[in-house]
A and B are shown apart, each in its own frame.
Chain A
Amino acid sequence: MLDRIAECLFWIGRYTERAENHARLLDVYYHLREEDGEDAEATWKRIAEAIGDCALYEERYDAYRENDVLFFLTLDWTQPNSILSCVTQARNNLKKIREQLPAELWNLLNGFYLWLKNMRVEEIVQMSPHGFFQGLKERLAAFQGTAVSIALRDESWHMLESGRYLERSENVVRLLQSVGRIAPEQRKGAYGYTVALLKSVGGYEAFRRLGQDDLTLEGVSRFLVLQEAFPRSAHFSLAAFERHLKDMRRESDKSGSALERTIRLAGKARSELGWLDRDDITFDTLNSVLQQLLATNRQLGEAVAGTFFSPGREVTA
């Protein structure tokens, strides 16, 4: 596999995962407002904050309004974190290396991109935002499911998946960081908010099935960081990331020390989470745990870039 191909695959994984996280989060946040009594402007601001850059928003709009916020977060291709931007990035990366993945995957992602690109905010509001977010999730699931079903399990698969899981672990952290920002006096009563958080990652039923009844922000945070059986937890994501890196080492005869270092780094992060006790995550420690995780994620991203895609590097046999 070529450097540039590895890079594209990694980013396809990351951007499709990011789009899914955004769609899930927006879906839940959008509907959360019906339950509490805050004024509309504050609601839209909270939603904008979830994934967007508020400074950029305020530069462009004078107030937080439903259509503007929805456009900003979903369809604005000049906003690098909008869902359209993520999908476009994933699609453009795939376009460069189409021959590496089955044609069905390209058709799905490109069809998705065309659908989204032609969507207008008015349509979203009209057809119900829930339906829209549902549509996003289903299209992303179709892409992911088809990949699982037919993609060859070679280096390119592991590259794609390692991008996906690194992104997922980072998204969990960012999601929880937004929890950390809630004022302490509001935390206890924020039941709706807690449930919403759990639902946004599709983890409510899993949480219940595991017999946990500590439905507080603390409990949910523990679940999302530590629960290794839940596929959207930080622990699970890092473990999957590490596994795919190891598989890549087996596939290629590359035994470079850079790859070894990256694998060790991922293993360290994963086992550190494994050692954490439930009491280690409380409101007071949550922030530092998250900071730590975020730094690890950044380090891992840089390590992958350094190992696999330094451009123009001479490779010798």
Chain B
Amino acid sequence: MGITNKTPVPSLSSLYYNEMYDGSQVRPHYGKVHESISRMTPQERVARQAKMNGRLLEEGITFTLSGAGQPEALERTIPFDLIPRIIPMEEWETIEQGTKQRVRALNAFLADIYHEQCILKDGLVPRRMVMGNRYFRTEMMRLAAPGGTYVTASGIDLIRDEKGAYYVLEDNLRSPSGFSYVFKSRSILTHDFPELMFSHPVRGIDRFLQEFRSSLRNLSPVDKAEPVVALLTPGSYNSAYFEHVFLAQQMGIELVEGRDLVCKDHKIYIRGLSGLKQVDVLYRRIDDDYLDPLAFRPDSVLGVAGLMNAYRYGNITIANAPGTGVADDKAIYTFVPEMIRYYLNERPILSNVPTYLMSRPDEREHVLGRLEEMVVKETSLSGGYGMLVGPASTERERELFAAKIRENPDNYIAQPTIKLSTSPINLDGRIAHRHIDLRVFAVADGASVRVLPGGLTRVAMKEGSLVVNSSQGGGVKDTWVLSR
């Protein structure tokens, strides 16, 4: 008796890679999980799930949606699925090495374009794509970033094609979020499904917080025994506030808002009851635009006036550094494999999803000839805006989009319709199959890159949907990396 008795493995299985099933066979690393889940009755699965949901709510693992006319902002929990996602040791080895390689290359790229610009001079990346990018910060030109680290915390999104090969879908290099969900998912599964957890050799994740903390401390501009590290949050009304609290508390760093900080003599201080305390490293979770009203948006109340000057004087480290957005742009993404060869002289371990640049005439014509199979994205937008999904579009929409592409080819890229692997989830006690992706987290300081074993598996809770974002109702799974 197996899961398949309740719901047949969907016929999609040939189109998409199923994490648990190989045809009708259960993949060996999922054997025990499959057995445990199949043994439970639907009622048991519902009860177990309800208990976990209750814990999510109680621990306040929520993101906030503000709604008008509410006595208080709506607090939603992320749908959490009790069936874990399992990554075998050898697969993880590739992902980890590939992520480290990518993060090193991206940091090298940022250091280069904000200094010598060799990659532009050598013509590997078109100059206008970098200099004309809205996330390029001229303020950062020739400023030394401590340890050459521009990107401290990064989240690399991976998907799998129908054969199970991993591809990088995008790099998140500004202020990636989702760390807290990884830790909370693990804590919930450990406490509320211990028999499942303890029957597997799952790699622990707690050490990552320690590594994150030391990476931040290592970035301190001065060699202090106890550098002061602070996390800059937009405040308790921000949708990711829970994550900010979690990280600050777990790493033992200060949690501050812009109004708690003051700039004096080009140094940044926390205003406390017992006087001022100088901040050495600021892990910011607000966008570049809001960091400093004197340097960027003058109407920002979230940042600190004078922060950029303090940074220029070398009195504080900002992590991630301002201006990293230029490297996670959708068009620049295309060049990451090139960067790996250029800066590291290595063969890229993780592949990109094939991407066509509309600024290249031959690629443009290739895409325009088969728009109905393509996903076209505007390079500077994210979150599903300014996008054409070929298979779901009408003739008329495609014509209009083709005109837009011809008019401004630099602004667009195209990818074949992406494939996401599927995984079984528990849906009201039944087993259903949904698309998932994987966000792999890495932290870097000058010396090394560390990768969180596992990462965040996001689930598109709607049938057939490929959208996994939590703002669109996406859920999460605990992600296990096996240690043998």
Contacts and interface: CB of A to CB of B under 8 A. Distances in A.
Interface of A: 1-4, 6, 77, 92, 95-96, 98-99, 103, 106-107, 110-111, 114, 155, 251-254, 308, 312, 314-317
Given A106-B60, A252-B273, A315-B276, A2 B236 contact: no
8 contacts: A1-B274, A2-B271, A4-B260, A95-B60, A106-B60, A107-B60, A114-B58, A253-B274
Interface residues of B, number: 23
B71 interface: yes
Q: Main SS of the interface on chain A?
A: helix
B468 to A, nearest CB: 27
Interface string B105-149: 000000000000000000000000000000000000000000000
Contacts of A316: 275-276
Contacts of A98: 60, 245, 249
A1 B58 contact: no
A253 B274 CA distance: 6
Interface of B: 57-60, 71-72, 236, 245, 248-249, 255-256, 259-260, 262, 269-276
Contacts of A96: 236
A2 B270 contact: yes
Point out which of A77, A110, A315 has the most chain B C-beta atoms below 10 A from its C-beta. A315
A3 B273 contact: yes
Contacts of A107: 58-60
A115 B103 CA distance: 45
B275 A2 contact: no
Contacts of B256: 2
Given A111-B58, A254-B275, A316-B275, 20 more contacts: A3-B271, A3-B273, A6-B273, A92-B72, A95-B60, A95-B236, A98-B245, A99-B248, A99-B249, A103-B59, A106-B60, A107-B58, A107-B59, A107-B60, A114-B57, A252-B274, A253-B274, A254-B273, A315-B273, A315-B275
A315 B271 contact: yes
Contacts of A155: 273-274
B40 to A, nearest CB: 26
B274 A314 contact: no
Contacts of A253: 274-275
Contacts, number: 62
Contacts of B260: 2, 4
Contact of A110 (B60, B71, B270, B272): B60
Given A98-B245, A106-B59, A114-B58, A314 B262 contact: yes
Most buried by A among B71, B236, B256, B274: B274
A95 B59 CA distance: 11
A113 B16 CA distance: 44
Nearest to B58: A111
Contacts of B245: 98-99
Nearest to B249: A99
A74 B37 CA distance: 43
A254 B274 CA distance: 5
A255 to B, nearest CB: 10
Q: Which of A6, A95, A312, A314 gathers the greatest number of chain B CB atoms within 10 Å?
A: A95
B58 A315 contact: no
A40 B127 CA distance: 84
B481 to A, nearest CB: 25
Contacts of B248: 99
Listed residue (A2, A107, A111, A314) with the most chain B CB atoms within 10 angstroms of its CB: A2
A253 B277 CA distance: 12
A263 to B, nearest CB: 15
A248 to B, nearest CB: 8
A92 B64 CA distance: 13
A308 B274 CA distance: 10
A279 to B, nearest CB: 43
A224 B58 CA distance: 37
B255 A99 contact: yes
A83 B443 CA distance: 45
Nearest to A2: B260
B337 to A, nearest CB: 40
A99 B246 CA distance: 7
Contact of A312 (B259, B273, B274, B276): B259
Nearest to A111: B58
Contacts of A99: 245, 248-249, 255
A270 B259 CA distance: 37
A106 B273 CA distance: 24
Query: Of A103, A253, A308, which is in contact with the most chain B CB atoms at under 10 Å from its CB?
Result: A103
A252 B269 CA distance: 17
Nearest to B247: A99
Instruction: Identify the 6 closest CB pairs spanning chains A and B, nearest first.
Output: A252-B274, A99-B249, A111-B58, A317-B275, A98-B245, A317-B276
A106 B58 CA distance: 9
A110 B274 contact: no
Nearest to A311: B259
A254 B273 CA distance: 7
A317 B264 CA distance: 11
Contact of B58 (A2, A4, A110): A110
A37 B330 CA distance: 79
Contacts of A3: 271, 273
Nearest to A259: B273
A316 B269 CA distance: 10
Contacts of B59: 103, 106-107, 110
A77 B255 CA distance: 30
A95 B271 CA distance: 21
B273 A1 contact: yes
A6 B274 CA distance: 12
A111 B269 CA distance: 36
A253 B275 CA distance: 8
Given A95-B236, A96-B236, A110-B60, A103 B249 contact: yes
A104 to B, nearest CB: 10
